[in-house]
Amino acid sequence: MSKGIPPIRGMNDILPAQTATWQQVEAVARDLFAAYGYQEIRVPLLERTELFKRSIGELSDIVMKEMYTFEDRNGESLTLRPEGTAGIVRAGLSNGLLYNQRQRLWCAGAMFRYERPQKGRYRQFHQLDAEALGFAGPDVDAELIFLSARLWRELGLKGLKLKINSLGTPESRQLYRKKLVKYFSAHAETLDDDSKRRLAANPMRILDSKNPKMSGIIADAPLVTDFLDKESEKHFAGLRRYLDEAGCEYQLEPRLVRGLDYYTRTVFEWVTDQLGAQDAVCSGGRYDGLVEQLGGKSMPAVGWALGMERLVALVEQAGLASGQATPDVFFAMLGEDAEFKGMSLAEMLRNNLGGVAVECNAGGGSFKNQLKRADQSGAKLALILGAEECAAGTIAIKPLRTEEPQQSCEQGKLVDRVRQLLAADETDV
Ligand code: ATP
Ligand code: MG
């Protein structure tokens, strides 16, 4: 059988069997953002290409090889957003949200990167972003980390490990960069092609190489933390103290650099050993220079982004997915009179029993087929309305998950009876 027009490689449909877990994660996250005073912002999927070049960096992997860039009908170069921060800062500036104001923001949505698709790595994927703009101290770095740690806890996830590092300021990095170039140049013969390219363009990114052949030479490379300026050192010590005081465990990872050029001082990553090669679930850091770089008044900022596909996979693998919602009531209706009466009774139930899910049979079918559907729906009760019940002004109620016998109920008492039966069912479990 033809499967129609094929989907685009690396772009997934998220099917009903999976959306329940997505909603579960989103609901927990939404509540936590509110609990920490973060407000939602929604920004376009498309931005001017220039925005990403100027923020993420012309020489970053994302800008050099991963962006979906095209010209629109006016010949303007546009790009599908590969990450959220640039668009959020752009929106903050465009709308005057950053003018002498501090903002705690979050954003959810699809991101696009032209990468080689594999498990946990897709061309359309989804992130949750949290950003705190206008805060200079390590207290907010810690707050953002606490927020993410709480998210894992509330979802029931164990085994995520936090790695932290400090990259210092652009000035303090100059000296480090020189040392690094010198070191890697001295080992030029052992560098892979990617690293050779990075050596000229962006030597710190060599430390981020995932090629196992590079791990030896990376292990002996000079460390960025040995080149920190006094203020960055103090900031980093402050962050560690906040984490220590709150009992938030972390690992110092002096080789942790991030794929986006705009990071300063704090960077961090939450990793897991349960997802194979794609081990980063959430990563973030401070980007004190970005707002100014995008045309605003200088403003410190820090944020993180988590990969929804990877987080959802963790929740599912750990058996923590809450599963698909099932209807409470399935409404079987036999014959024309019953269908007309039944649909309006179902509306009455929904009017009076907020939150109770009623699935109507719709489209006719034999008694046997309708009861089969009722059973498959997972509903607790089947309501059965036939010609006889219509004539008598009654309706039959059949418990589907217990041995209790079917009962007849006056239509006028249906709301109360359904409420009682569902409540009894709740207390049983
Ligand atoms: P990686 O090292 O895995 O490529 P990254 O450093 O490029 O990740 P960020 O740009 O910091 O990732 O994005 C934050 C999070 O988004 C990552 O930790 C990851 O969970 C998720 N992510 C990034 N790229 C992808 C992708 N192509 N498919 C699915 N999730 C992704
Ligand atoms: Mg990447």
Q: pLDDT by residue (tens digit) across 172-185?
A: 988 899 999 999 99
Phi, psi of 175 (to 5 degrees): -65, -45
C-alpha distances in Å from residue 386, one per residue of 218, 357, 389, 390, 417: 75, 21, 5, 6, 19
- Model pLDDT, residue 200: 82
pLDDT for 257 equals 87
Residue 65 Cα to ligand 2 middle (Å): 11
Mutation to probe ligand 1, out of 310, 312, 314 (largest number of atoms < 8 A from CB) = 310
Looking at the predicted structure, is the pLDDT value of residue 425 above 80?
no
Highest mean pLDDT among 208-222, 253-267, 286-300: 286-300
Predicted pLDDT of residue 121: 97
The pTM (predicted TM-score) of the whole model is 0.93
Whether residue 86 has its Cβ less than 6 Å from ligand 1? no
Give the distance (Å) from ligand 2 centre to CA of residue 340.
56
In DSSP terms, which residues pair with 307 in a beta bridge?
A: 127
pLDDT band of residue 51 (cuts 50, 70, 90) is: very high
Q: Do 129 and 305 touch, CB atoms closer than 8 A?
A: yes
pLDDT in tens, 363-421: 999 999 999 999 999 999 999 999 999 999 999 999 999 999 999 999 999 999 999 99
* Whether residue 310 has its Cβ less than 6 Å from ligand 1: yes
**Could you read off the pLDDT of 320-359 as tens digits, one per residue?**
999 888 999 999 999 999 999 999 999 999 999 998 999 9
Q: How much is the pLDDT for 428?
A: 59
Cα 87 from Cα 93, distance rounded (Å): 10
- Measured by CA distance, the residue closest to atom 8 of ligand 1 is 280
Ligand 2 centroid, distance to 396 Cα (angstroms): 58
Q: Is 307 in the pocket of ligand 1 (CB under 6 A)?
A: yes
Is 61 close to ligand 1, i.e. is its CB under 6 Å away?
Answer: no
Q: How far is ligand 2, taken at its centre, from the CA of residue 259, in Å?
A: 7
Q: Summarize pLDDT for 54-64 with one digit per residue, the tens.
A: 999 888 889 98
CA-to-CA distance for 419 and 412, rounded, in angstroms? Answer: 13
Ligand nearest to the CA of 269: 1
Instruction: Please compute the mean of the pLDDT values over residues 188-210 and round it to a whole number.
Output: 87
Cα distances from 262 to residues 300, 307, 422, in angstroms, run: 12, 19, 55
Task: Name the 3-class secondary structure at 79.
Answer: strand
Select from 55, 56, 123, 127 the residue to mutate for testing ligand 1; criterion: most ligand atoms less than 8 Å from CB: 127
Ligand nearest to the CA of 268: 1
* 103-112 vs 39-40, strand pairing mode: parallel
Ligand nearest to the CA of 123: 1
The larger pLDDT score, comparing residue 72 to residue 204, is at 72
d(CA 276, CA 52): 29
Say how many Å lie between the CA of residue 307 and the centre of ligand 1.
6
> Based on the number of CB atoms within 10 Å of its own CB, is 329 exposed (0-12), middle (13-18) or buried (19 or more)?
buried
Q: What percent of the chain has pLDDT over 70?
A: 99
The C-alpha angle 63, 65, 71, rounded to 5 degrees, equals: 70
Report residue 259's pLDDT band, with 50, 70 and 90 as the boundaries. low
Output the residue whose Cα is nearest ligand 1's atom 22. Answer: 307
pLDDT in tens, 263-307: 899 999 999 999 998 999 999 999 999 999 999 999 999 999 999
Q: Hunting for tokens 């006016």 — which residue is that?
A: 74
Residue 268 Cβ inside 6 Å of ligand 1? The answer reads: no
Q: What residue's CA is closest to ligand 1, atom 28?
A: 121
Percent of the chain with pLDDT over 90: 85
- pLDDT over 60 at 139, yes or no: yes
Residue 48 β-bridge partners: 78
Q: What is the mean pLDDT of residues 119-130?
A: 98
What residue ranges define each of the domains in the chain, with the CATH number in brackets? 16-168+228-317 (3.30.930.10), 329-428 (3.40.50.800)
What are 156-166's pLDDT values in tens digits?
999 999 999 99
Average pLDDT for 201-205? 85
Is the CB of residue 63 below 6 angstroms from any atom belonging to ligand 1?
no
Of all protein residues, whose CA lies closest to atom 29 belonging to ligand 1? 121
For ligand 2, the distance from its centroid to the CA atom of residue 260, given in whole angstroms, is: 9
